[in-house]
Structure 1
Amino acid sequence: MDRNTFLNQHWKSYPAMPADCKAAGRIYRLEREEGGLEISLIRDNQEQIITFDKAPPQSEFLIEGDIVAIISATEIVLLAPNKSSLPTRTYDKDILEKWNRYVEEVRHFFRRKGFLEVKTPSLVVCPGTEPALDVFATELKVGSRTEKLYLPTSPELHLKKALALGAEKIFEIAPCFRNGEVTERHQPEFSMLEWYRAYDNLATIKQDVIDLVQHLVKVLKFEPPRRILSYSVAELFKIHCGFDFTPETTKQELKELAQKLGVDVHSAESIDDYFFLIFMDKIESQLHGEDLIFVEKYPPYQAALARLTKDGWGDRFEAYWKGLELCNAFHELNDPQIQRQRSEVDLQKKQESQKEVISLDQEFFQCLDAGLPPSGGIALGVERLFMALHGIRKISDISVFPK
């Protein structure tokens, strides 16, 4: 009798877990010798070796990859046969345990500081208006009603609605979705930590970042950042490009600077493109090592949802550690008229770059019109900070199911 005949005619298909089981798992290795049998089982990432002086009945039909239960020294039950190779994925229990501990400590940090955790929707009318981002769209159908909805690129708009409704110190670890992004540092689905402080500003948010990193390195037993450094965008352009950057720096000036520096800008169209290409090539590549580095005061066209400073810079910062961009923080814009203007500009940029045109969230603007208090807010990549702490280079190494 061969294995197929055994499975089709003699095996009791997919039995329940035996109550009197002594051991169980997937067969990692089988060794048959002189009538005996040695089986190595893998369960919960642990190996267990079972030795039989005499091979149990029907064990001759077992192969590596089968899932079995050991009942006694004379009985093995086949729970699920190996009929196909597993997907090329890895279940790394050690990484998952570290991830769970890390997320627990992040939550503990904010709860200890008096923040309230909020849950925002994963189906939204506006996923975010950032011109460079591609989105995932779907459709809600309820009877004769249909509505186009999106997976959020960030929970930002709904968290700000909560601020307008009366929340003051809130945070969320939210699933976020960005289409067209699969690299060593990007996945189309990832976790974003956002927190906001109503009636506050960017300085407090910056201290939160420092405190969070220091808390995690202490409780998880990692080396802290060597130094904490802060630079304005203008300072970095002066240091690395020898260029005097101002809020009035033009697209033509950046184009000429790129040519002088040998930066490939053939794909650039807007002033944002020229800024990004120069910044990534000549500046961001230098923001590595053991220092926690804050980059502050961005050009006004990079202000996004941030206020402008009195001298014309976007009042926001990004933080880098171990070569990874960790977060993006804003002294939040709460002027509804300026916010509408910027959002319309973003949508125009999307249309010009032939990205999907989306609708604005009118409830968000209703909240702005009703009054949003001065606030500081930040979006931090949860996987990015975990990667920095553990020295992991590929975001796909954290997930069992990366794209």
Structure 2
Amino acid sequence: MTTSADPKGAATRATGQAPGDAVARLVRRDAALRAVRAFFHDRGFVEADTPQLVPGPGLEPHIDPLAVAVRTDLLSTATSPRWLITSPELALKRVVAAGAPRVFQLVHVFRDGERTARHSPEFTMLEWYRGPGTLDEILDDTVQLVRAVAAVVGNASGVDLSAAVERVSCADAFARAGVDLSAALDETAAGDVDALPRRVRATGDLLPGALGFDDAFFHVMAAHVEPSIGRERLGVVEAWPASMAVLARLDERDPRYARRFEVYAHGRAGSLELCNAFDELTDAREQRARFDDDNATRARLGKPVLPLDADFLAALPKMPSPSAGNALGFDRLLMLLTGAERIDDVLALPWR
């Protein structure tokens, strides 16, 4: 056994953190993981353990999965393409379709090209589904879960977690920024692809000329909506444009919008998007059309076209309707509650 005259210094150089800090971080993370599992088990949820290496990943154009070539025969050089999951969503919905009414999973997920103070290529996702279930039930789960985790790790944010959440639709949030989102959606549907960027520029915001609808939308979100919501209490932005439905159902009362919400809160790292919830689409034909559109967009962006998950599409019509679910960034939640400014500050070991 070797010894060091400066063991603490060596550990700090190896991990980027002092040993005492690392142990405290590990204990805090363990307490939060235990609280999450207790929360869901107490409410009758079953913890699923679905694969992380899959033949068909999520297809969202703005998310890039990591590809892996797998040899299934040690005597052969032939490989089969697989991908590390960007989310357990497709697999968990298959579990719900098979008859499990309440499921959750804590799992490491992987996304290429994502490395910032609040992003890591590998991070922990918490997802849960109610089938049958509603978005209101999922929102209540979310609020109660955040409170349950805060009860064991504390709350270093300025957000009053005991207060009722602030709920605002995308249309109302954009109206506060001086942008008529519904009118822009109508104009875009009529063929005016510059409708939203033009309306955003009319408020005085400077946008590059080449920006499309999505770029202009997320500019308003980042510049106006996210900085103002979730400061004193949890903020919920709901009713997103139909083009951003992903796997969510469209609102039957106003199909310009999808039935999904995101929760935001301000911590020391600034505004944090904590989660993304859907009223789940169970129409396999519509979902396949959306997947095809996603792949077409990927092709236009010069990204690989990805295989569709046939097992997921076959299971989708068997999901109870309505069903609802949520994907919550576990590390983001810890950042909020512990006052961390970087995702590395809440991981057992920082990403290297």
**TM-score class normalised by the smaller sequence:** 0.7 to 0.9
Provide the secondary structure at the position in 2 that maps to 1:324: strand
Amino acid at match of 2:55: V
Q: How many residues align?
A: 329
Tell whether 2:104 aligns with 1:174.
no
Partner of 2:175: 238
Partner of 1:98: 28
Question: How far apart are the structure 2 equivalents of 1:270 and 1:161?
Answer: 35
Provide the secondary structure at the position in 1 that maps to 2:291: helix
The offset of 1:89, in angstroms, is: 2.1
Tell whether 2:325 aligns with 1:387.
no
CA deviation profile, 1:261-315 (whole Å, cap 9, x unmatched): 3445438554222212222222222224231001110011011100011211100
Partner of 2:14: 87
Q: Which runs of 5+ in 1 are unaligned?
A: 1-13, 16-24, 29-40, 43-63, 68-84
- 1:71-86 maps to which residues of 2 (within 5 A)? 86=13
Task: Give me the CA root mean square deviation.
Answer: 2.2
Higher Rg of the two aligned structures: 1
Tell whether 2:186 aligns with 1:248.
yes
Provide the secondary structure at the position in 2 that maps to 1:328: strand
CA deviation profile, 1:370-403 (whole Å, cap 9, x unmatched): x221210110000011111111111122232324
The offset of 1:356, in angstroms, is: 2.0
Contact 2:174–2:220 at 8 Å: present in 1 too?
Answer: no
Amino acid at match of 1:116: V
Q: Which moved more, 1:105-114 or 1:389-398?
A: 389-398
The offset of 1:213, in angstroms, is: 1.6
Question: How far apart are the structure 1 equivalents of 2:200 and 2:218?
Answer: 11
Contact 2:102–2:128 at 8 Å: present in 1 too?
Answer: yes
Question: How far apart are the structure 1 equivalents of 2:15 and 2:288?
Answer: 47
Tell whether 2:202 aligns with 1:260.
yes
Tell whether 2:256 aligns with 1:319.
no
Contact 1:268–1:274 at 8 Å: present in 2 too?
Answer: no
Question: How far apart are the structure 2 equivalents of 1:397 and 1:244?
Answer: 38
Amino acid at match of 2:227: S
Partner of 2:166: 229
Tell whether 2:29 aligns with 1:27.
no
Question: How far apart are the structure 1 equivalents of 2:286 and 2:123?
Answer: 30
CA 307–382 in structure 1, closer or farther in 2 if over 3 Å, else same: same
Provide the secondary structure at the position in 2 that maps to 1:329: strand
Tell whether 2:227 aligns with 1:285.
yes
Question: How far apart are the structure 2 equivalents of 1:184 and 1:345?
Answer: 32
Amino acid at match of 1:239: R
Question: How far apart are the structure 1 equivalents of 2:127 and 2:200?
Answer: 34
Partner of 1:294: 236
CA 95–249 in structure 1, closer or farther in 2 if over 3 Å, else same: farther
Contact 1:125–1:150 at 8 Å: present in 2 too?
Answer: yes
Q: TM-score when scaled to structure 2?
A: 0.87
The offset of 1:221, in angstroms, is: 4.0
Question: How far apart are the structure 1 equivalents of 2:211 and 2:295?
Answer: 16
Partner of 2:291: 343
Tell whether 2:52 aligns with 1:122.
yes
CA 268–324 in structure 1, closer or farther in 2 if over 3 Å, else same: farther
Contact 1:227–1:290 at 8 Å: present in 2 too?
Answer: no
Question: How far apart are the structure 1 equivalents of 2:325 and 2:207?
Answer: 32
Contact 1:171–1:194 at 8 Å: present in 2 too?
Answer: yes
Q: TM-score when scaled to structure 1?
A: 0.76
CA deviation profile, 1:229-267 (whole Å, cap 9, x unmatched): 100001101112343535535232211023223445438
- 1:350-369 maps to which residues of 2 (within 5 A)? 350-369=298-317
Percent pairwise identity = 35
Partner of 2:120: 187
Amino acid at match of 1:234: A
CA 383–234 in structure 1, closer or farther in 2 if over 3 Å, else same: same
Amino acid at match of 1:283: V
Q: Which of 60, 67, 77 is matched with 1:137 structurally? A: 67
> Greater share of strand residues, 1 or 2?
1
Q: Which runs of 5+ in 2 are unaligned?
A: none
The offset of 1:170, in angstroms, is: 0.2
